[in-house]
Amino acid sequence: MSKTTLAIIAGISAAAGSAATAALYASRSPRKDSPTSTGSSTPTSTFPSAPPPAPLPTPLRKDLIPPVNPTGVFQYGFPGPVNDLRPTMSTTSSFDRRTRNPAWVAEHITPASLSANNADRHHSIFVEDETIPEKFRAKLHDYFRSGYDRGHQVPAADAKWSQHALDQTFLLTNMCPQVGEGFNRDYWAHFEDFCRRLTNHYPSVRIVTGPLYLPKRDHEDGKWRVSYEVIGNPPNVSVPTHFYKVIFAEDGKTGGDVSLGAFVLPNAKIDTEKPLQSFEVPIEAIERASGLEFAGKLPAQRRKRLCEQVTCSLLVRDYAERHKNLMGAPPPKSLGAGSPPTQRAP
């Protein structure tokens, strides 16, 4: 991956995320040495040349007995970091205790799993995940009047095959604060629908979704900084600047081809006219930004580019009608005084 690509993925801002991700995709070729403009709100520049590698540390002498024992601190406990692996019937996730958000949430959908309709989301409620230690978990009141939706990473509509499976998608370990109008209830929802429609072409689709906290270049001094809101009282839950999805569309054959798709979207209102493919990025860009690895065991000869195999585009529908078709007619609205706003489930 070129330095230009890394510079641009670092500079994607929530305000100009669509333009920046489009520039990132356009500049993936390692032959391009100059940065692609991402609009006036997020100027970019290539990073300076990497410094020479640091010298390797001198190996410990076998005949030298250290007078200290730093690992002795473990007698009092392991400081961490601890990433809580959280498997459920419908998801598998790793929880980030520092941000009170998942680092990633994985799901698996098939034509059979999506065709089953054995659950009703109106019987589900948002709940705190008690498997996470109390002082590290996200709380329901953190979201109250925050201005953000409790945004599903794995949508409830993907787990209609069981009421229990659907209920588990409402755990707060499957949530991140998301902009509601224009994103969670609109573009992001259409993106989730695109993922479901992939099962029309593939017998097995695996999706990993999660938050990103990307730097933005300061116009005053030209330096890159990571800045994001934290909600709750006291402030507990970090508000991601962006979200990613990594898609593995499997052909169903043992050792068969896997069509890979990687997308980064800003946590901001996005015009539904914006092409989905403008948010496509190299999977390495997400790995670099998140510190995660997604396809290290997938050989290059089995990899296909998803958007070369299928048309990567949204099917934009009216949200209320789409919600009704997916989850059944909504119940009558009856909010009591002081009740938190209703939020979408898919």
Strands (E), 18-100: 83-87, 92-96
Residue in 141, 152, 242, 323 annotated catalytic: 152
153 contacts: CB under 8 Å, gap ≥ 6 = 91, 93, 102, 105, 174, 175, 176, 209, 210
How far apart, in whole angstroms, are the C-alpha atoms of residue 198 and residue 51? 44
How far apart, in whole angstroms, are the C-alpha atoms of residue 153 and residue 97? 17
Please, is 97 exposed, middle or buried when counting C-beta atoms within 10 Å of its C-beta (0-12, 13-18, 19+)? middle
Please confirm, yes or no, whether 123 is among the known catalytic residues: no
Q: How remote is the C-alpha of 274 from its chain's centroid?
A: 19
3-state secondary structure 269-299: CCCCCCCHHHHECCHHHHHHHHCCCCCCCCC
SS3 state of residue 122: helix
- Cβ(346)–Cβ(188) below 8 Å: no
242 DSSP β-pair partners: 212, 266
Active site residues: 152
